[in-house]
Structure 1
Amino acid sequence: MKNVRLPSLTEVVVVLLLFLAVVFSFTAFFNLPIQLALFISWFLVILLGLRLGYRYHTLQEGIMRGISNGLEAVLILTAVGALIGTWIAGGIVPTLIYYGLEFIHPSIFLLATLIICSITSLATGTSWGTVGTAGIAMMGIGEGLGIPLPMVAGAVLSGAYFGDKLSPLSDSTVLAASMSKVNVISHVKSMLYLDVPAFIITGILFTGAGFLYSGKNVDLERVEFIKTALLEQFDIQIWMMIPAIVVILLLVMKQPSMPTIAIGALLGAIWASLFQGMNFADAISTAYNGFFIQSGIEFIDNLLNRGGIQGMLGSIVVIIFGLGFGGLLEKLGVLKVIVAQFEHKLNSAGNVTFSTLLVAFLANVFGCAMYVSLILTPKIMETSYDKLNIDRRVLSRNTEVGGTLTSGMIPWSDNGIFMAGILGVATLSYVPFMWLSFVSLAIALIYGFTGKFIWQAKPEQAVEQAIHENAN
């Protein structure tokens, strides 16, 4: 076997610039699928790997390892697609929209969206499931109230990500903690020091925005028209919420996410058959094909014609190609080469915090998947924290902030494509309103450069880390 070497900085820059050129040209100029751009990008990195002395089979192992690290996301996304289809067919989502239009005042709608999505995500541990259920409902309510949809999407995502990264049930929370070698509950407690002030600031911002828009665009006649249209198409009753309650309770009881969401999808199909007058076979088919209606009302059709496993296939392919791309980057040590260029400057908590957030963001940009960021960032940055004797809880917290909260900002990432597709708003349109993400990043940097809530590692932890390093 030939000797292999790390890539030079020039080689890394050339390959990553070519990657960005392929992605941008495919999406912005040629209107070609992002999936194809990611697939082609594999071979850019493979060519670099061959140049560095790797055999093709070794590189393929890197692809397979990267994909296997994120296969749980594929399973959950598949179940979420089925859930969306049957919950619309079963009247669960339409009921949420109807009661939202009935009871939520326009001036507090954005704040209510933030809180509802936060609670849903905290209870269920899934930002994707939250956006695919409560998020769709809040988008429908927001459009009915005349509030700009990118702003509504920003409130939905702020709430969904807030709950997701505080929930011990969340796969991203568990991954960030485990890769940083931190107890999950300790990680969640460390997140509270950052998340609580970030949530309060974000809530104030959305409250101000709500009052700004509440009196300008609200057409009460349109609101009544939408409510009437929903009543004509669906049986709207309070017991339509039972499948949602069952799913939340199961997830609170720490049942596995994928089968729990699948049970929710089955309940949605049963509800569609029992209460919405659908043939059971047709109701079950919405789990795969999604829901389709021709109401003659453009708003209703655009909002509710979605879901199904089939509708998630594009996002699933993005995740697979993105994870494979990230696996190749990890195999070649690309991000390590980048970090090595400024490693000598990692001599303070502030610089280490900034670098962690940057590495996590770049892992989302070039790895195309949140899982890539949450796996690579702790591996790359842990030595810097240990040298400064900084507690690994700070590493896991910064990894979560930089990895999870920026994942939805990248148009070609798994989160960016999923969120844009489900919410019906382009990624770059809703990014300016992801206020929780920006506030959290700012607070993390403030903590880093002021030393606030930057804990020193306990002696026994430092010994454990030293033993771990020597073993490697």
Structure 2
Amino acid sequence: MKEEAKKGSILGLLPLGVFLIVFLGSGVITGDFYKMPAIVAFIIATIVGFSLNRKVSLGEKIEVFCKGAGNIDIISMIMIFILAGSFSSVAKAMGGVDSTVNLSLSILPPNLLVSGLFVIGCFISISMGTSMGTIAALGPIGIGIAAKTGIPAPLVIGAVVGGAMFGDNLSMISDTTIAATKTQGCELKDKFRVNFLIVLPAAIITAILLATITSGYSLGGSTSYRYDFIKVLPYLGVLVGALCGVNVFVLLSFGVVFAGAIGLFTNSFGLFGFIEAISGGISGMYELCLLVIIIGGLVELIKLNGGIDFILNFISSKIKTKKGAEFGIAALVSIVDLCTANNTIAIVTAGPLAKDIATKFDIDNRKTASILDIFSSCWQGIVPYGAQVLTAAGMVGISPVELIKYLHYPWLMLACGIIAITFGIPNLNKVNKRKKEVA
């Protein structure tokens, strides 16, 4: 009986299947994969989860759901989302985004326009923590550069999307980074270092490739970009603080206060404008926070109904090595992202299961968090029905499918992720050994 219990039940995965059918089905039928809100699809899936396993009373199921929804990792994640939203909103309101973009463009080499735009996108996205914000900020500039130089607009916008996905994957205040580290129980700075080592070659190759393709183009005339360096400081402060290992709650709280102080000092807003920006940032995170709560409870119901044990047993029967388990985690989060077109949801959904797999096969939590973030982000930057590609394609006025061939960085990030798993890059055993020797 114990052995059967460990094998679990495929029926326990029915809620997840229902979610995918409802979410994907509505997208296929309507042609709009954002027509069905993910939160509604997850609520329907949760109702299905409650209807399973008649051996357990409804009261017990509610208790299990609430414990999952109120898990310490879930609540911590929500608090970080709220702080990250507040910081992004306040920094944007005081002009931080415009100043960061213009500062970057002012140092852009004229003979490396598209390559430089990609690098700027990397810097802005890693500072802002949002791919959509980066595309919104740099997209119009990229289109302007394309118009003045004759460089194909899809190529320029593809570079912008690539830069946006770089920071979406790595930024300390990105939803995906926060979700990946919290579900796997590792520090932001530790995940960043491992993740950075894996995707850096992709960024370098992309920059070189773009420079080579567009080397014959240049921007005629002189253009000046106005910026206030003081307004860039909050982003730099958060980035440096995160790399130094400052507690994320302290760091983001400091970022909100610092950005607010600069906004008040430069008269970008008044006291109530500062408060309104904080409120707007928090409001923007409401749906994501509620979604995380529901998913946290649903995962516990799936676990109660034997779904988690079934997948673990299935993977265990098919995978015999640590490397195979890492590919299994990569495939899991990739499939969920391809189905949901939302990398944060993909990580939050696949995260708890990935942690169980990682524990079973003794995979370092930094590597697991990096795999989750890399494979969800690369697909998010490629799928033609994802918000990033849809927005970028809309700016140029082309089909999202046509833009796919210009998305160099997401494709290279996918390749680097596969290579990292295949060849065990980075070798965390050596890294841990060196740390012990230094200590």
Q: For 1:158, which of 163, 166, 178 is the aligned residue?
A: 166
For 2:302 and 2:19, locate their aligned partners in 1 and report how far apart those are by CA, in whole Å.
Answer: 12
The alpha carbon displacement at 1:210 in A equals 5.8
Pair 1:313-2:286 in alignment = yes
Out of 233, 253, 264, the residue aligned to residue 255 of structure 2 is 264
Aligned residue for 2:44, secondary structure, equals helix
1:26 is displaced (CA, Å) by 4.7
- Seen in structure 2, the aligned counterparts of structure 1 residues 177 and 195 have a Cα distance that, compared at 3 Å, is farther
The match for 2:62 is 60
Q: Does structure 1 retain, via aligned residues, the 8 Å contact 2:326–2:421? A: yes
Query: Identical aligned pairs, as a percentage?
Result: 16
Which residue in 1 is equivalent to 2:347?
A: 370
Q: Which residue of 2 aligns with 1:38?
A: 42
What SS does the corresponding residue of 2:285 show, helix, strand or coil?
A: helix
Q: Encode CA deviations 1:89-131: one digit per residue, 9 max, x unaligned.
A: 2122121233334332576455445545656787x7xxx7364
Q: Are 1:354 and 2:358 matched, yes or no?
A: no
Secondary structure of 1:368 counterpart: helix
After superposition, give the CA deviation of every residue in 1:342-389 in whole Å (9 maximum; x if it has no partner). 533323555334223223435666893524433321312543x36xxx
Contact 1:119–1:163 (CA under 8 A) maintained in structure 2: no
1:296 equivalent in structure 2: none
Q: Structure 2 vs 1, CA of residues 198 and 91 (structure 1 numbering), >3 Å: closer, same or farther? A: closer
Deviation of 1:43 (Å): 0.8
d(CA) in 1 for partners of 2:113 and 2:61?
50
**1:224-248 deviation line (CA, Å, top 9, x unaligned):** 7xx6xxx6xxxx4333323334433
Runs of at least 5 residues in structure 1 that lack an aligned partner in the other structure: 290-307, 387-391, 462-472
SS in 1 for 2:232: helix
The one-letter code of the counterpart of 1:63 is: F
What is residue 322 of structure 1 aligned with on the other side?
295
Go from structure 1 to structure 2 and tell me whether the alpha carbon gap of 1:54 and 1:106 turns closer, same or farther (over 3 Å shift): farther
Conserved? CA contact 1:323–1:369, under 8 Å? no
Partner Cα separation in structure 2 for residue 88 and residue 112 of structure 1: 23
One-letter amino acid of the structure 1 residue matched with residue 288 of structure 2: S
Residue type of the alignment partner of 1:42: T
User: 1:176-191 maps to which residues of 2 (within 5 A)?
Assistant: 178=185
- Give the number of equivalent residue pairs: 399
Q: Pairwise mapping of residues 234-253 of structure 1 onto structure 2 (< 5 A)?
A: 236-253=227-244
CA distance in 1, matches of 2:93, 2:133: 12
2:305 to 332, 337, 340: 332
Residue matched to 1:284: 275
Task: String of CA shifts for 1:429-450, please: whole Å, max 9, x gaps.
Answer: 888776555444434544655x
Asked if the contact 1:151–1:433 (Cα under 8 Å) also holds between the matched residues in 2, the reply is yes
1:78 aligns with 2:82: yes
The change in CA–CA distance for 1:244 and 1:188 in structure 2 (over 3 A counts) is closer
Residue 106 to residue 309, structure 1, CA distance change in 2 (3 Å) = farther
Q: Residues 58, 105 of structure 1: CA spacing in aligned structure 2 closer, same or farther, 3 A cutoff? A: farther
Separation (CA, whole Å) in 1 of partners of 2:233 and 2:167: 22
TM-score by length of 1: 0.66
More divergent stretch after superposition (140-149 vs 69-78): 140-149
Q: Secondary structure at the match of 1:70?
A: helix
Distance verdict in 2 for CA 1:37–1:457, change over 3 Å: same
Is residue 380 from structure 1 mapped to residue 382 from structure 2 by the alignment? no
- Check 1:192–1:326 CA distance in 2 against 1; reply closer, same or farther (3 A cut): same
Matched, 1:91 2:95: yes
Question: Are 2:19 and 1:19 equivalent residues in the alignment?
Answer: yes
Deviation at 1:341, TM superposition (A): 3.3
Query: CA shift at 1:184, angstroms?
Result: 8.9
1:417 and 1:56, CA in 2 relative to 1: closer, same or farther beyond 3 A? farther
Equivalence for 1:403? 372
Quickly say closer, same or farther: Cα 1:409–1:17, change in 2 above 3 A.
farther
Q: Which residue of 2 aligns with 1:344?
A: 317
Equivalent residue, structure 2, for 1:100 = 104
What is the identity, as a one-letter code, of the residue corresponding to 1:155? G
Secondary structure of 2:24's partner?
helix
Would the aligned equivalents of 2:159 and 2:408 in 1 still touch at CA under 8 Å?
A: no
Q: Residue 57 and residue 151 in structure 1: after superposition, are their counterparts in 2 closer, same or farther (change >3 A)?
A: farther
Q: For 2:366 and 2:302, how far apart are their aligned partners in 1?
A: 21
Q: Which has the higher contact order (CA 8 A, sep 6+)?
A: 2
Residue in 1 that maps onto 2:149: none
1:41-62 Cα offsets, whole Å, 9 max, x none, are: 11112222x34x2333333344
User: What are structure 2's unaligned runs of at least 5 residues?
Assistant: 147-152, 434-439
Give the aligned residue type for 2:22: V
Structure-2 change in CA distance of 1:209 and 1:71 (3 Å): farther
Residues in 2 aligned to 1:199 and 1:101: alpha-carbon distance in whole angstroms: 19
